[in-house]
Amino acid sequence: MISIYLVGIVILAYLFGSIPSAVWFGGAFYGVDVREYGSGNAGATNTFRVLGKKAGSIVMFVDILKGWTATNLPYLLDSGLVGIPNSVQFVNFQLALGVIAVLGHLFPVFAGFRGGKGVATLFGMVLAIHPGAALLCVTVFLLILIFTHYVSLSSIMAGFTFPFSVAFVFHTSVPSVLLYGIAICALILVTHQKNIERLLKGHESKIYLFGKRNNP
């Protein structure tokens, strides 16, 4: 019975992650499948690029919420099966659920397994696990975005900020959190290979938070 309960939570985390907010929102309000334009990804960054700031902001919020909700399922479902809250066992289970939600975002069952790059969902997971480190990541992201206007570069640098901050700023006592941070860096590099190539060639699209319109 306990194992069935835990399997149910795992499946629920994947389903939360699989919510294709960019695809559904773009289709419902703009008649556009964002995967057919821009970078071809069903994520917040491509939504910003294709549909603009308002749509991109909404999709980003939902994607962050997906990761945060999935990671916090042990709290929301009042599960005492995975250890005391904030214990190593409990945090490890939260990390597992967060990773599953990210996999859901990358390979969403509701959108033909064609998803986004998972950065916003990863951030929701980080926000649930370590709010202080998440705040540092947001600060780095915004600073780099303001000065360079590259969302991809901002995402990459924010991702690298997480393991650095938990190791040297907050001195985490949970080894799996640091290992997860290192895994984040690897995942972001893998999912942003094309962006890195475009950055090196100077072909990456820019997004302006204030005033100037996005590049087509």
Could you tell me if 15 and 109 are in contact, meaning their C-beta atoms sit under 8 angstroms apart? yes
pTM value?
A: 0.83
Cβ neighbours of 99 (radius 10 Å): 22
Angle at 187 between CA 185 and CA 192, to 5 degrees: 95
Alpha-carbon distance of 117 to 140, in angstroms, equals 19
- Residue numbers in the chain where pLDDT is lower than 50: 213-216
- Please write the tens of the pLDDT for every residue from 184-216: 888 888 888 888 999 999 988 888 776 554 444
Sequence-distant (≥ 6) Cβ neighbours of residue 93 within 8 angstroms: 74, 82, 83
